[in-house]
């Protein structure tokens, strides 16, 4: 397939779950791919998966997206390795399940730093490279909880709501530079992060069943579901789409 041939993409949180699925889908479509994250061993696993599907020359960058110097370095190393940068996928994120009373100041700061400050810093670092390339595409992986709320997710909802509106603001600010900015808003997706929400007990299984029962299409999302949407948003097929926060939620937000 060739939907992303000639494009260079940098994907944060690319070592596991949704980020890895996006890296594999982008490479399958012809893109050169750099994956960034804090765990070197997980990034290297992604590179091995890329090689298994016949994609060589991927780049792994160990960095903390919430640090400006690391964000700038990730962009710089990607552009140096591949000659340019066309697509930035802000996928790195963390989850905390609690009300505000059950959320410490440290937990609040962690969510805001990784989920919201991280995309801010990465986008800021990427914009000069987009200008050199004559434009670019920002794909933020937000959450349906950046569009609607849920009990026991106060800080998470706040952080992902920020991502949705940051996406829209950047779309307006940079449309004249041919820089598009869109946000994928998934509901619950089968990843390592989500598996930790459900205990290996009868109660955990019942909670999982109830959660799936709230989704009209009757299943959790899969990483590939998000990856295919990311391919569309990174490709020229979506060249007239910017400023969108797209629910990818099995119909959950249609209620």
Tell me if 36 sits within 8 A of 125, measured CB to CB: no
Q: Is 240 helix (H, G, I), strand (E, B) or coil?
A: coil
User: Residue 143, Cα to own-chain centre: how many angstroms?
Assistant: 9
Domain boundaries, the chain: 8-186+222-246, 191-220
The DSSP code for 112 is I
> Looking at residue 159, what is its pLDDT?
98
Q: How far is CA 89 from CA 77, 106, 205, 207, in A?
A: 16, 26, 33, 31
> Looking at residue 199, what is its pLDDT?
72
Measured CA to CA, the distance from residue 136 to residue 181 in angstroms comes to: 9
Measured CA to CA, the distance from residue 19 to residue 194 in angstroms comes to: 14
> Looking at residue 163, what is its pLDDT?
98
- Predicted TM-score (pTM) of the model is 0.96
* 8-186+222-246: CATH architecture: 3-Layer(aba) Sandwich (3.40)
Q: How far is CA 12 from CA 60, 164, 172, 250, 255, in A?
A: 10, 17, 23, 24, 32
> Looking at residue 192, what is its pLDDT?
77
- Beta-carbon contacts of 237 under 8 Å, excluding residues fewer than 6 positions away, are 3
> Looking at residue 98, what is its pLDDT?
96
Measured CA to CA, the distance from residue 182 to residue 111 in angstroms comes to: 21
- Positions in the chain short of pLDDT 50: none
> Looking at residue 19, what is its pLDDT?
98
> Looking at residue 197, what is its pLDDT?
72
The 59-62 sheet, strands edge to edge: 59-62, 32-37, 8-12, 87-90, 136-141, 179-186, 245-248
Residue of 26, 82, 120, 156 with catalytic role: 156
Tell me if residue 255 is catalytic.
no
Among residues 135, 219, 139, which one has the least CA distance to residue 185? 139
> Looking at residue 202, what is its pLDDT?
84
> Looking at residue 130, what is its pLDDT?
98
């Amino acid at each position: 397939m060739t939907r992303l041939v000639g494009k260079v993409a940098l994907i944060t949180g690319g070592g596991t779950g949704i980020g890895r699925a996006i890296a594999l889908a982008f490479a399958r479509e012809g893109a050169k791919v750099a994956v960034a994250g804090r765990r070197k061993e997980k990034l290297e696993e992604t590179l091995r998966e890329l090689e298994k599907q016949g994609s060589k020359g991927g780049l792994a960058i160990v960095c903390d997206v919430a640090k400006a110097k690391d964000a700038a370095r990730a962009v710089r190393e990607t552009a140096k390795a591949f000659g340019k940068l066309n697509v930035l996928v802000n996928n790195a994120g963390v989850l905390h399940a609690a009300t505000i009373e059950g959320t410490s100041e440290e937990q609040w700061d962690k969510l805001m730093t990784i989920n919201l400050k991280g995309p801010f810093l990465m986008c800021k670092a990427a914009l000069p490279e987009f200008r050199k390339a004559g434009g670019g595409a920002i794909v933020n992986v937000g959450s349906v909880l950046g569009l609607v709320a849920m009990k026991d997710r106060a800080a998470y909802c706040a952080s992902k709501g920020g991502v949705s509106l940051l996406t829209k603001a950047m779309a307006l600010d940079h449309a004249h530079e041919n820089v598009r900015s869109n946000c994928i808003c998934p509901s619950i997706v089968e990843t390592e992060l989500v598996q930790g929400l459900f205990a290996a007990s009868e109660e955990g299984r019942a909670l999982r069943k109830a959660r799936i029962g709230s989704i009209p299409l009757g299943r959790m999302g899969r990483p590939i579901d998000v990856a295919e949407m990311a391919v569309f948003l990174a490709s020229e097929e979506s060249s007239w789409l910017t400023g969108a926060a797209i629910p990818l939620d099995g119909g959950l937000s249609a209620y």
